[in-house]
Amino acid sequence: MNASTASAPAPARASSAVVLANLGTPDSPTPPAVRRYLGEFLGDPRVVDLPRLFWLPLLHGVVLPLRAPKVAPKYASVWMEGGSPLAVYTRGLADAVAERMPGVRVVDAMRYGNPSLAAVLQDLRASGFEDILLVPLYPQYSTTTTASMQDVVDRVGGTGIRVVQDYHDDPAWVEAVAATIRARHREHGPAHLLFSFHGLPQKVVDNGDPYQRQCEASAAAIAAAAGLEPGQWDVSYQSRFGKAKWLEPSTSGTLQRLADQGVREVDVIAPGFASDCLETLEEISMELAEEFAARGGKLRYIPCLNDSPGHADVIAALARRHLDRD
């Protein structure tokens, strides 16, 4: 060992950790993998609030055997070399945030699927991290999403783990999303803008969930930052499941209304999603774009912030603010 090596100080050990957690994804675009993922996702009582004795046999005996083979080809249509888009972009975002937060351990996790949020938190605790910040990559809070991650924190022992509740009106995040709209308009010219958020059963909001209110506040703030006037944009909700009443208006129904009104060009953005995924890349930019084209229109999808430098700046600043709080 030379003198310079012997005298070099040991690298400082990170004392804080940040976990960027997204919803989840199958491990592969195959029916068995999709079935495992959907079984965990739809088996969460936060997601499907039905009596377990009724729902679980129905889920595993009827819903999953029918749904998994239909959904797997949709995942295959958007799969990337490194995995599902949601997994690839979430990993990339975690890496980019880590570069902006020296001295802090930054990792990614999934509420459903892998890397498991519970396992990631347990590994960090076992490695000696006592100050852990969980950042659910859900800009808007819902009992069906953020609260479900809190459930995991509570199960693994929540001491020393803080959870960011939402960032739906964070000025830096609002500006980052608005910038993508302005960039699209500079490139292609203005078009009517549709904010499409993931839907929820209406009863969830009726029971006090703030999700819809936060979605509408996000849309209004982003539209203002993008320089849009009232009448140049709409808000809708997508991805319905089951027969219960869901939030209105639906994205499909709104696109039909716009087509009937003679609107021929629509830009669609999904600021409830931090990363592009099946619901944005297949449902919006393929399925709904095809439906709108059949009505004589052109739908252009504006991608999520994904692992862009601007997104990494926003999340790193958000994490630093929360870590600095007592």
Contact yes or no for 246/201 (Cβ under 8 A)? yes
Residues 106-122 pLDDT 10s:
999 999 999 999 999 99
Residue 257, pLDDT > 50, answer yes
pLDDT at 243: 81
pLDDT at 12 over 80: no
Element (H, E) at 122: helix 117-126
**Residues 233, 194: contact at Cβ < 8 Å?**
yes
- Packing angle of the helix pair 117-126, 146-156 (nearest 10 deg): 40
Residue 91 has pLDDT above 50, yes or no: yes
Residue 8 confidence (pLDDT): 39
Residue 5 has pLDDT above 70, yes or no: no
- pLDDT, position 4: 35
Mean pLDDT of 159-185: 97
The CA-CA-CA angle for residues 290, 237, 167, to 5°, reads 125
CB 211 within 8 A of CB 204: yes
Tell me: is residue 192 an annotated ligand-binding position: no
**287 has binding-site annotation:** no
| Ordered structural domains, the chain, with CATH | 16-167+309-324 (3.40.50.1400), 171-302 (3.40.50.1400)
Task: Determine the average pLDDT of the residues in 27-36.
Answer: 98
Give the mean model confidence (pLDDT) for residues 213-217.
Answer: 98
Q: What are phi and psi of 58, to 5 degrees?
A: -65, -40
For residue 252, the surrounding DSSP H or E stretch is: helix 251-260
pLDDT band (50, 70, 90) for residue 20 = very high
Nearest of 250, 254, 255, 238 to residue 291 by alpha carbon: 255
Residue 10: the pLDDT is 33
Helix axes of 171-188 and 309-324: crossing angle, nearest 10 degrees: 170
List Cβ neighbours of 21 (8 Å cut-off, separation of 6 or more): 108, 109, 110, 111, 117, 120, 134, 135, 136, 137, 149
Q: Is the pLDDT of residue 9 over 50?
A: no
Q: What is the pLDDT of residue 326?
A: 53
- What are the tokens at 112? 């459903």
- Rounded average pLDDT over 159-177: 97
In sequence order, the β-bridge partners of residue 201 are 246
- Could you report the per-residue pLDDT of 274-322, keeping only the tens digit for each? 999 999 999 999 999 999 999 999 999 999 999 999 999 999 999 999 9
Structure tokens, 317: 């600043």
Strand order in the sheet with 233-238: 233-238, 192-198, 265-269, 298-302
Quickly list DSSP for 189-246: ---EEEEEEE--BHHHHHTT--HHHHHHHHHHHHHHHTTPPTTSEEEEEE---SSS-B
> Comparing C-alpha atoms, which of 261, 184, 177, 191 is closest to residue 219?
177
What does the alpha-carbon distance between residue 35 and residue 68 come to, in Å, rounded to a whole number? 5
Number of H helices, E strands in the chain: 13, 8
Per-chain mean pLDDT for the chain: 94
